Structure 1
Amino acid sequence: MDESDGRASHRFADGIRLWKRATEVIPGGSQLLSKRAEMFAPEQWPAYYDEASGVTVTTLDGTDLVDMSLMGVGSCVLGYGDPDVDTHVRDAVDAGAMSTLNAPEEVELAKLMLDMHSWADMVRFGRPGGETMAMAVRLARAYTGNDAVAFCGYHGWHDWYLASNIDTAENLEGHLLPGLVPKGVPDALEGTSFPFRYNDIDELERLLAEKSLGAIVMEPIRYEEPDDGFLERVRELATEHDVPLVFDEITSGFRINAGGVHQTLGVTPDVAVYGKAMGNGYPMSAVVGTEPVMDEAQESFISSTFWTERIGPTAALATIEKFRDEAVHEHLVDLGDRITAGWEQAAERHGLSIETQGLAPLTHFSLQHGEQSLAATTLFTQEMLNRGYLAGSSVYVSYAHTDAHVKNYLDHVDDVFESIAAKIEAGTVEDALEGPVKHTKFERLN
């Protein structure tokens, strides 16, 4: 077959070759598990981009693809290269991105974040989300004087979190990845992090009865809605035991409103952590909290040079301004609901069994066809690539997505679902793949 053939492995040959080279010189191939080609369609996924604008990604081979997948793993809530944000960033670059003195934008951003959170008193800023979560946990432990953390959900790669798997490799199953080995995490941290399941208040109550907790850390919502009274009871327990309640809004923030989903849910934490969408692709994160917890940063040393650069706060100010002025969240929720409904309707038409879940702007489907499910999802990505889309089992909706994008995408989904259903019926899904089945876990690549 020649290079003009429509198969992804030929059309994206430059990116695929570079990915293979990357796995030889970069452990794991990428800095982020979610960007590994193996997580989508091994030996087919283009892996690298040359340009990105709006919702269009141009590959190294010059092919334009519509991103109906992760949009910068949830960081580009306004779309790639938003002109309003980028204009402010260019001005900041021209004015000097870094100095011996502080950037005044961080004070302006702190005031804005506090205006958005009437319950909060102080703010600290970081850049990546994982390190900012580590900062929040440090502050909570400093406040209580206790080491143990009860957590629910995914919260990054740092030692405090992965320590949960020291005694058993299954503690993070359902929160992060099954069977994850905490290699390199000090054994001395065993017994400092304890999981509890979302909507299982009994588990949290048992942990509070058995442990002297330093923090309760959770995503207020991710894949499922909270049961009636669940979050309210978590709040009550945190108050009763004087344990800071930390809401990880790194993924959920700036999707449902101009701020955190906890504001819509009506439950107030002691600390909220933001990242991802806050800077529309420019690194920026924040810890917002009450003074008793936040003031611990006066005594617990938490400091970093690049937390003081100018670009992040500038991008965040512009992103939040646009989010508020144009009610971006309403657009995200509307399109997310339509995508979810479109998946469900197409699956019903063609006899596919699927489950959908997640916040509307972070919608997700999973095929429910036993041992063929993973191969069928890989086939979905393959066939959507052949139709000009970056697509997997999740869509992180952006403001740059339009009604036309969604309609055209769902028309193609309908065709692909029909094809997949026929192959599932015939038991020929893997035969239709042009490469290996995707991975679903953390593993060595070479």
Structure 2
Amino acid sequence: MNTQNGINLWHKAKEIIPGGTQLLSKRPDQFLPEQWPSYYKKAKGVEVWDLDGNRFVDMSIMGIGTCILGYADDDVNEAVKKAVDLGSMSTLNCAEEVELAELLLKLNPWAEMVRYAKTGGEAMAIAVRIARAYTGKEKIAFCGYHGWQDWYLAANLADDANLDGHLLPGLQPAGVPRGLKGTALPFNYNHINELEDIIEKNDVGVIVMEPIRNHEPEDDFLGRVRKIADEIGAVLIFDEITAGWRLNVGGAHSVYNVQPDIAVYGKAMSNGFPMAAIVGRHEVMNVAQDTFISSTYWTDRVGPAASLVTIHKMEDNDVPAHLSRIGNLINEGWNKIAKEHNLTINIEGILPLTHFGFDCEESPALHTLFTQEMLERGYLASKAVYVSYCHDEDCVGRYMENVDEVFGKIKKAIEENSVHDLLNGPIVTAGFKRLT
């Protein structure tokens, strides 16, 4: 398979764009160095066409989890085209942002107010700013991944600058003011003792976490976090940017019956168009008027228009149930095929965001070989599958037929000690560490 046009453009990009791309998770070395097609010409449903004319089925991360309905959904695109034709920007505000706020509050009955942004990272920064303004306290206890801003990367500032980046490897805090050291304090998911220790030693005003990512909450973990926040008067923020909309239409927190003070949404809420929302209690959110939070493109029409259609379509078609059913089929397929080939794999994540890993020291090389061989068979495939509404039983069945072939090849390569000999390029680079 020839992917040279994409590879050549990637090399050119690295010379004129720092890092080559705007998102760490889209760098080719995260998937298949020197072989990944890198750029797309067209995407529709679960199919992607690259610059060399290759057609791939995306059994990977579907636009980094944004396209929950599938690529270029007709209904969403129609609404966006209408918004563009009517004018996506004006001196006046678009009425869709009020309609969307009412819908979000209906889905989050514990909340009373909404603000908007365009990306998850900036939405989290807004939520944290509001929460700090409300409590008047600087220190934050957090769990999970929450973006690139200074408030979060401050966790990677060490007493010795040479140790910067040791807590969350892969997330370097160069350029983050050292004065922020000690303001963001990490704890691991399901480790309530770590949060309790942070609270005992620090005057924490904000607790930030993903309600779920890789593991189910144990021993009423979310409820205990909520109780701690209430006891110390901290604002509890649930980052729903990744998990939101996948277990139910709305936030995953409602599945576990634990309500935050602020919930932050993004990614899937608008099916590939830039949009994010900060939803929260009135007394907390209204403090946004006491601090400067304002940006021109937060008022555009496209994001709200796309979100309204996306959310209604998720409701009308019970999309979360479909995502879990297909995710379960994928898990069952991975498990069955791995056992047949006597391969040991670990499967984690909620069903709509499932992922597997080879349980051995050679796992990076094996993952690279898996992606390489699946690419040759017409699949964008990695360790994770972000399920979309366009993934169906037939799609999973054909995918598993190819996984069967590739797992068989991997097993043979392990037995013959030839894994590295089969690789056509460098081994995939490791991503960043999460606390979930």
Q: TM-score range by the shorter chain?
A: over 0.9
Question: Residues 179 and 97 from structure 1, CA distance in 2 versus in 1: closer, same or farther, beyond 3 angstroms?
Answer: closer
The one of 8, 21, 27 aligned to 1:17: 8
For 1:213 and 1:160, how far apart are their aligned partners in 2?
A: 14
Aligned partner of 2:323: which letter? Answer: L
Name the residue aligned to 2:404: 414
Q: Provide the TM-score with structure 1 as the length reference.
A: 0.95
- Structure 1 counterpart of 2:83: 92
Q: Tell me which of 228, 237, 241 is aligned to 2:232.
A: 241
State the match for 2:291 in structure 1: 300
TM-aligned CA deviation for residue 213 of structure 1: 1.0
Look up the match of 2:260: 269
Greater shift, 384-393 or 341-350, is seen at 341-350
Deviation at 1:170? 5.4
Report 1:39-58 matches (<5 A).
39-58=30-49
Shift of 1:429: 0.6
Q: 1:347 aligns with which of 310, 324, 338?
A: 338
CA distance in 2 between counterparts of 1:171 and 1:82 reads 41
Corresponding letter in the other structure for 2:349: G
Aligned match for 1:202, one of 172, 175, 193: 193
1:380 aligns to 2:370 (yes or no): yes
1:437 to 392, 407, 427: 427
- Inter-partner Cα distance in structure 2 for 1:224 and 1:170: 25
Q: Select the residue among 112, 119, 122 that pairs with 1:128.
A: 119
CA contact 1:171–1:195 (8 Å) conserved in 2: no
AA of the residue aligned to 2:4: A
Aligned pairs (5 A) from 1:292-371: 292-370=283-361
Q: Aligned pairs, how many?
A: 428
Question: Residue 391 of structure 1: which of 381, 385, 389 is its match?
Answer: 381
1:108 equivalenced with 2:108 (yes/no): no
Deviation at 1:402, TM superposition (A): 1.5
Residue 340 of structure 1 deviates from its aligned partner by 1.1
Amino acid at match of 2:255: T
- Asked whether the equivalents of residues 282 and 315 of structure 1 are also in contact (C-alpha less than 8 Å), the reply is yes
Cα offsets for 1:238-260 (capped at 9, x unmatched): 01111011000000001011001
Find out whether 1:226 has 2:217 as its counterpart. Answer: yes
AA aligned to 2:38 is A
Instruction: Give how far 1:292 is off.
Output: 1.3
Deviation at 1:172, TM superposition (A): 3.7
Show the counterpart of 1:254.
245
C-alpha contact 1:253 1:259 (8 A) present in aligned 2 = yes
Contact kept in structure 2, 1:169 and 1:180, CA below 8 Å: no
Q: Could you report, residue by residue, the CA deviation over 1:35-71 in whole angstroms, capped at 9, with x for unpaired residues?
A: 0000001011000000000000000011110000010
Partner AA of 1:344 in structure 2: N
Report the identity percentage.
55
Q: Does residue 1:401 correspond to 2:395, yes or no?
A: no
In the alignment, structure 2 segments of 5+ residues that lack a partner are none
For the residues of structure 2 that align with 1:169 and 1:154, how far apart are their CA atoms? 17
- The question of whether the paired residues in 1 share the 8 Å contact of 2:205 and 2:233 is answered with no
Distance across 2 between alignment mates of 1:24 and 1:366:
33
Aligned partner (choices 127, 130, 140) of residue 149 of structure 1: 140
Instruction: Provide the C-alpha distance between the structure 1 equivalents of 2:233 and 2:194, rounded to a whole number of angstroms.
Output: 18
For residues 424 and 270 of structure 2, the distance between their equivalents in structure 1, rounded to whole angstroms, comes to 37
User: What is the match of residue 3 of structure 1?
Assistant: none
* Per-residue CA distance 1:320-343 (angstroms, 9 max, x = gap): 000001101111000001101111
Deviation at 1:271, TM superposition (A): 0.5
- Counterpart CA distance in 1 for 2:170 and 2:6 is 30
- Does the aligned pair in 2 maintain the 1:22–1:29 contact within 8 Å? yes
8 Å Cα contact 1:254-1:277 kept in structure 2:
yes
Give the TM-score normalised by the residue count of structure 2: 0.97
- Alpha-carbon shift at residue 275 of structure 1 (Å): 0.2
* Offset of residue 130 of structure 1: 0.1
Are residues 1:164 and 2:155 paired? Answer: yes
Distance in 2, matches of 1:411 and 1:266, equals 39
SS in 2 for 1:72: helix
How far has the Cα of 1:209 moved from its partner? 1.4
Q: CA deviation at 1:171?
A: 5.5
**What letter matches 2:314 in structure 1?**
F
In structure 2, C-alpha distance between the alignment counterparts of 1:373 and 1:181, rounded to whole Å: 24
SS of residue paired to 2:64 = coil
Read off the aligned partner of 1:379 and give its amino acid letter: L
Counterpart amino acid of residue 206 in structure 2: A
CA distance in structure 2 between the aligned counterparts of 1:133 and 1:411, rounded to whole angstroms = 40
- Rounded Cα–Cα distance in structure 2 between residues aligned with 1:299 and 1:24: 43
Distance 2:105 2:146 in 1: 23
**Runs of 4+ residues deviating >2 angstroms:** 168-173
* Kept in 2: contact 1:169–1:179 (CA 8 A): no
Query: Distance in 1 between the 2:333 and 2:291 partners?
Result: 50
- Cα displacement string for residues 395-437 of structure 1 (whole angstroms, at most 9, x for unaligned residues): 0000011111000001110110111011112211111001110
Tell me the amino acid that sits aligned with residue 353 of structure 1.
T
- What amino acid does structure 1 have at the position aligned with 2:207? I
CA separation in 2, counterparts of 1:430 and 1:49?
A: 28
Q: 2:67 aligns with which of 64, 76, 79?
A: 76
Q: Is the 8 A contact 2:165 2:173 kept in 1?
A: no
Q: For 2:67 and 2:29, how far apart are their aligned partners in 1?
A: 22
Q: C-alpha offsets along residues 364-384 of structure 1, whole Å, 9 cap, x if unaligned?
A: 1011121x2101100000000
Supply the AA of the counterpart residue of 1:426.
E
The one-letter code of the counterpart of 1:386 is E
Q: In the alignment, does 2:97 pair up with 1:138?
A: no
Please state how far the C-alpha of 1:179 moved relative to its aligned partner.
Answer: 5.3
**3-state SS, counterpart of residue 62 of structure 2:** coil
SS of aligned partner of 1:73: helix
